[in-house]
Structures are given as C-alpha cells and as structure tokens.
Amino acid sequence: MRHLGLFAKYWQPGNVKTRLARSIGPEAAAKIYRAFVATLLTRLHSLADEQAIWVWPPERVSEFAAIAGHWRIAPQPEGELGDRIAHYFAETLRDPPAQAVLLGTDSPNVPLDRIAAAYDVLESADAAMVPTDDGGYCLIACARPMPELFVDIPWSTGRVLSTTLAHAEAAGIRCQLLPPWYDIDEQDDLARLQADLLTAQEPALVRLREEIAAILAAPRTSGKDSDV
C-alpha cells in the first residue's frame, strides 16, 4: 500500500515563512504559505492509496478541514521535527507491505515524477530523498520505520541532508537520492518560483501563480496577529 503524507503548519502570520516575511511582510507571507498548502493538496490528491495531511497545531484542524478535500487530517504529535517525522513513518508503516512518502510545504511545484520515482526506488532501496539547494530535502520516502535517520539532525541548517545520509550509512540503510528541487524560504526563492510558474500548465500551478501575484499586489497591512 502506498501512503502519502504532507506536513503543514497553520498559516498564522509571524509563525510561517518568517524569512520571506522580512521582505514581503508577515500577512503576505502567511497567505502565500496557505496557497502553498492548498496547491499541494490539489496536486497530490491522487498519487497514493492513502493521503493524509499532518497538521500543527491540533486546535487548527477545522481550518485545514476547509481546504483538505478528501485528505485525511491527522494532528502532528508534540516534539521536535525528527520525532514527528519518525512518528509519521512508524504510524503509516505499521502494516507491511507498505511504502510511505512524506513532503513538507516549502516546494509547492515539486515535479510529480519525483513522487512516482520515490515509490519506485522503494522497490529496491530502504529510503529515498529529493535534495534541496539549501542542504536539506523536500521529500523523504521509507519502506519501513527507521527512526535512527531522524535523531540529532541539525534542522534548519545546511547540514540536514549530509547528516541524514551519514546516519543512513552508519545504520546500513540503503538510501537513494533523486534529482534535486528547491524550497521557497527567501524572496529570491519566491522570484524563482514565480519565474517557473510562468510556463506552468497544471491548473493548480496556474492558480498558484495568480494567487501569488494578487497577494503581492495587495496593499501591505500592519497587523501582526490577525488570522488569514
């Protein structure tokens, strides 16, 4: 059985896309983040046997339900990111044979063939990752629970991928890297995304292009804590 998971946070201004917010403001950054989440929910909805969006914080489940469609909604557990990723794979892969892919929400235009390739890789390898330009990864796939991959990772640094690969080598885990992609964290990343979206054909990506343009064209607000 093929499982697909998406990790997402509620789009509270000031709590998401904080580096991007330095350039475009927290309100616009939060709206763009929400658009990323909605885009991925649309693009990925039919790529696996079971799809779940794992959300944080749990009390915001109703807001996610408004855009999740047929996706199952599950609250992320407490703990640091590595613990939460390990929990996802432990829960999802309890009943083998199974394969699980997990993505974050920083790469809304990730090519769909990367996801298909990740499942294919798991036929012969234990894990697969799509590296990102900043030294991390935007997708990880596992054929079985491997919590040792996610221990003592320097999250939000350029050493996430290299440390994870070192853990895999030490544990004898066969891990294959897929062609890289990129995250949207800074204003330059957003500009790169906008340029790529100019030639997008997928309806969800065309809609994302239009949403980003509208958000950036709107007057900048000064509110810090209002919901989107």
Domains of the chain: 2-217 (3.90.550.10)
Structure tokens at 18: 């904080």
Q: What is the mean pLDDT of the chain?
A: 96
pTM (two decimals): 0.94
The per-residue pLDDT for range 152-200, each reduced to its tens digit, is 999 999 999 999 999 999 999 999 999 999 999 999 999 999 999 999 9
Strands 99-103 and 72-75: unpaired
**Would you mind telling me the total number of residues written for the chain in this entry?**
228
Residue 135 carries which DSSP code?
Answer: S
